[in-house]
Chains A and B, each alone.
Chain A
């Protein structure tokens, strides 16, 4: 836990986005071989904006019995009014052949910024959710999902 917070500070500190994820990629070993690719994707979307923590929640099982169908949900704390709402939530994964998973496009008509789907995870890895708000602010969260490789079921 301590390590994770430490890394986040490193990541989201002033101007540390690119350098920070680069380090994470080195430290994480093979399971995060693509962390740099996720980093690049996030950088592309975020641009010069400051990535913040909080407001966005990513729900996924701690352990997935099979990586082919992992239920994930995202929710963002937002009033979802015309003036103040979530525009998009991008989902990325750093251990798949490609970092993109999906992008949800929200509107004030959603009432609550929540969406759910099922994703493929090739192995144990980190899943990221990046929210873009109508005021231009961006929020990032991530969590690790362990993917079990079964004896016979896997």
Chain B
């Protein structure tokens, strides 16, 4: 993909307070490992997403350090206990310093 595209999935329906939900994320990225060579035998430089962070209402709730052994188009899923309604903010950090972001709202059942 020309520019990495994030996708995230959280429950659309309001979540009962205190329930643990699963948050799934996917981003298009080749995760070039730095271990491959091109047709001329030159090493293709490493370019991966090396860090993922998720905050909920501004508080860091989950993070991941990624190495070249993570597959292309990284898929990351984790759990979140929903104590209050709010907004999840996701951040993917590229080797070249680029940051890709996405947000998702969580509603709480009254």
Contact = CB atoms under 8 A, between A and B. Distances in A.
Are A and B subunits of one complex? yes
Interface of A: 68-71, 80, 93, 96-98, 100-107, 109-121
Contacts of A80: 81
Nearest to B60: A107
B76 A100 contact: no
Contacts of B74: 117-118
B63 A105 contact: yes
A115 B77 contact: yes
A100 B67 contact: yes
24 contacts: A70-B71, A93-B69, A96-B69, A97-B35, A97-B68, A101-B70, A105-B62, A109-B56, A109-B59, A109-B61, A109-B80, A110-B20, A111-B81, A114-B79, A115-B76, A115-B78, A116-B75, A116-B78, A117-B71, A117-B76, A117-B77, A119-B71, A120-B68, A120-B69
B62 A116 contact: no
Contacts, number: 95
Interface in B31-75: 33, 35, 56, 59-72, 74-75
Instruction: Specify the main secondary structure of chain B where it touches its partner.
Output: strand
Contacts of A111: 20, 79-81
B65 A103 contact: yes
